[in-house]
Amino acid sequence: MTDKIDDLLEAAREIQSAAHVPYSEYRVGAAIETESGEVFVGCNVENANFSNSLHAEEVAVAEAVKNGHREFARIAVSSSRRDGVTPCGMCRQTLSEFCKPDLEVICDEGEGEEPSVYKLGELLPDTISQETLE
């Protein structure tokens, strides 16, 4: 692991402590790095109606976008179970709004294990984008 990946994964692990997960007890943290090298984090925020739950990745993307960033180099995702969680289909689509298919998606496989690293394009190929609508 390079130091940069290490730091991003650590940020994703740390923000899990802020997660609101009374229903699933499954904490997720995400840390997204902008092309300019800044990092924004997000955690999952569940809701009693279940369907309103916010996912860690979408919270991280929203945090970055609201601070004026729209170009990203990589995202790290970690769950409290360190089970190699990958962004769900909805989060893959959210990422594809701003990120190119070569975005690195770093998924935590646990202490002492190398994380799994994917490209967004392999997790969500041929998706709808702004260009599709033009």
Q: Which residues bind ligand THU (CB under 6 A)?
A: 21, 24, 26, 28, 44, 46, 53, 55-57, 87-88, 91
Pick the catalytic residue: 57, 63, 71, 113? 57
Minimum CB distance to ligand THU smaller for 39 or for 75: 75
Close Cβ partners of 99 (under 8 Å, ≥ 6 residues apart): 72, 75, 120
Nearest distance in Å: CB 90, Zn ion: 5
Nearest distance in Å: CB 87, ligand THU: 4
Nearest distance in Å: CB 134, ligand THU: 28
Q: Where are the beta strands (DSSP E) in 2-134?
A: 28-34, 39-43, 72-79, 104-107, 116-119
33 flagged as catalytic: no
Residue 105 has φ and ψ, to the nearest 5°, of -115, 110
Spatial contact of 13 and 29, defined as CB atoms under 8 Å apart: yes
Query: Catalytic residue positions?
Result: 57
